[in-house]
Amino acid sequence: MAEKKKGLIRRFFGAIWAVYKGFRSTVLNIIFILFVILIGSAIFSGGDKVEVAKTSALYLNLRGDLVEEKRFVDPFAAIMNESLGGQEETPEVLVRDVVAVINHAAKDNRIQAMVMDLSGLGGASLDKMLAVGKAIENFKESGKKVFAYGAFFAQNQYFLASYADQISLEPMGAVILEGYGSYPMFYKSALEKLKVNTHVFRVGTYKSAVEPFTRDDMSPEAKEANIAWLNELWLQYKEQVAGRRGFALDNFDETFASLYAKVAAAEGDLSKYALDNKLVDSIQTREEFRRSLIAVVGKNDKNTYNHVTFGDYSKLVLPAKQFDNPMTEKVAVVVARGMIIDGTAKAGTIGGDSTAALLRRARHDDKVKAVVLRIDSGGGSAFASEVIGQEITLLREAGKPVIASMGAVAASGGYWIAAPANEIWAAPTTITGSIGIFGLMHTLEDAMKTLGLNVDGVGTTELAGVSAGLPLFKGLTDPMKDLMQLMIERGYTEFLTMVGKNRNMSIEAVDKVAQGRVWTGRMAQEFGLVDKLGTFDDAVARAAEMAGLSQYDVKVIQQELSPTEQLFVDMFGAAQAKGWVPSFGQSMQNRALRQLSQQVQQDFVLMNQFNDPNGIYSYCLSCQIH
């Protein structure tokens, strides 16, 4: 039977649809081709060349937190967030990048001075700022001047500013140094109002990591332990700054009465108060500061002093990618930053399996002769910590010495992964120790009753339903609690035994300085928990010495981006650098409310990351300072 012929109207609209589809396909293909050409041009073109005047200043305008390792951020999401007006909540700057840029500038004859703009500097521990400060001192030793200028210097910003030859403050500016404190948020009453029951199992008089969920205030034991290391940290801050600024320790105002008296003497003028108390060298307007720098390095076509920003100069001196020389022997560096969790994790969090894999790469790399494990962690999963510790032991058995280099924090699980190393190096300001174990579980049996909900059924044993989460809804029985406490006590004994074995100490000696107590690096060395005080560079040099290396390269072993992630970085990163990714404005948020929401979010994200298969943790919550 012959096929029925389509009607005229149907053929007419069919022809229109075919034309439309063809037109749409052509347009989309053209747009795609243009997009590929655009991005390809961004990737493969030489780009806008950074020009450095014959006499210029390095404008050290740091933006973000100083860190050992940048946390992983999805490259596509980051580019889209920025183009749509969003801002990275906590931008980060690698300490080693800052040090490398300053050291290169010290040898660059075009760079005659450095100007520190620290208004964008966020979080920074003393050990990281000391590393940057050492580079600044190296810069000054080359005969070049360093200037710091700003409207307001917060505590971290002022610590770095104190390295400058001259600190200048704006007429309505201020310098406020408030000291260190530890002020976690407490949730006990809030959880009770929600009828959430908290069950705690722990060992250690000073193990206070669970207190925010079991108390409404800091315990006397936690206050006693925390004030000891906070005072030590504050003393080191004062000694460093006072030594560079040339005034006595009592020049720091630690009471409102003292601060009021001095500000009153300056007639309420905070900039004059800073000048009178030798915190700054001069009070200058921005134009006055610009003119003073023009006299040093000359004037550019924008009517300001010749300078190159940190970001632009970084493009000149820092390689876009790390290239490995296959001929040289190596000291490998593995960074362990963040909370320790079971399994794999992206950079910025320590996954037991993923960090162990990095160490294993070092073990199987014949060119790697020694390893430095750089730790900046308050701990986490005890199981994951042990997985990492086992890999360190295997490195040593393979004849490759391992140096644990402690950064800002290497406490609880952070100390666990350090203990198996051949030697432990710490900064005097490192926060370490907190050797203790705890278990934490929340149950909802009372909330279930209030909501009129119930879970019921039968099982072949008393254990049935435990792995499915039945205790969350039914609560913990006394036998469950006894079993959990027994496991925690066993975990603490294993922690003490492991530390004692690796540190050549008796279990009793370890227990005496354990119990969850937190120490500074200097204190920890006195107790035998740390071998040497020194910088990261000192640790690298010691690793090379132990391996018998006189000539070597330092190789950072880190997680690699997937091919798709790397493609997005290459494509959109290059296009963004050229300004080809559009921006649609930025929104402002209330700073205080943002900090509050971030604190609550941080605490509960932290609890959500507690994924130890046995529910046993070694974590130091009080190691966070403000």
Residue pair 255/140 in contact by the 8 Å Cβ criterion: no
Among 56, 125, 208, 412, the one annotated catalytic: 412
At what angle are helices 382-397 and 352-364 packed, to 10 degrees?
10
Distance CA 438, CA 487 (A): 10
* pLDDT reported for residue 577: 46
* Measured distance CA(490)–CA(509) in Å, rounded: 18
Those residues whose C-beta lies under 8 Å from the C-beta of residue 37, and which sit 6 or more positions away, are: none
Q: Which two tokens stand for residue 504?
A: 């050549």
Q: Which helix (H) or strand (E) segment is 491 a member of? A: helix 478-503
Residue 2's pLDDT is what?
A: 47
119 is catalytic: no
Kindly compute the dihedral angle of the four CA atoms of residues 315, 316, 321, 326, in this order, to the nearest 10 degrees.
-170
Q: Are 146 and 592 in contact (CB under 8 A)?
A: no
Structure tokens, 222: 């936690």
Q: Which of 207, 330, 369, 555 is catalytic?
A: 207
> What DSSP string describes 230-297?
HHHHHHHHHHHHHHHHT--GGGS--SHHHHHHHHHHTTT-HHHHHHHTTS-SEE--HHHHHHHHHHHH
> Which pLDDT value is given to residue 70?
87
Residue found under tokens 């500013």:
161
Question: What is the per-residue pLDDT for 585?
Answer: 39
Mind giving me the DSSP string for 398-415?
TT--EEEEEEEEEETHHH
Cβ atoms of 186 and 603 closer than 8 Å: no
Asked about 145 being catalytic, the answer comes back as no
- Tell me which H or E stretch contains 87: none
- Residue 389: its pLDDT value, please? 95
Q: Residue 612's pLDDT is what? A: 65
Give the H or E element holding residue 194. Answer: none
Token output for 595:
């900090």
Query: Judging by beta carbons within 10 Å of its beta carbon (0-12, 13-18, 19+), is residue 524 exposed, middle or buried?
Result: buried
Cα radius of gyration (the chain) = 29
How much is the pLDDT for 522? 93
Q: Token digits for 371?
A: 């390893």
Per-residue CA distances from 318 to 105, 309, 579, 596 (Å): 12, 14, 21, 37
Quick: pLDDT tens for 111-128. 999 999 999 999 999 999
Tokens representing residue 48 in the block: 């806008």
Q: What are the Cα distances from residue 45, in Å, to 76, 397, 575?
A: 21, 48, 11
The segments of the chain whose pLDDT lies below 70 read 1-17, 19-21, 23-24, 27-29, 31-48, 74-89, 204-208, 561-617, 619-626
Cα gap 354→341, rounded to integer Å: 10
Task: For residue 368, give the DSSP letter.
Answer: E
pLDDT (0 to 100) of residue 584: 38
The three-class DSSP label of residue 376 is strand
Identity of residue 239: E
- Rounded CA separation 599/385 (Å): 25
Q: What is the pLDDT of residue 567?
A: 56
- Is 491 within 8 Å of 382 (Cβ atoms)? yes
Q: Summarize the chain as % helix, strand, coil (round to 5).
A: 45, 20, 35
* Contacts of residue 216, Cβ cutoff 8 Å, sequence gap at least 6: 186, 188, 189
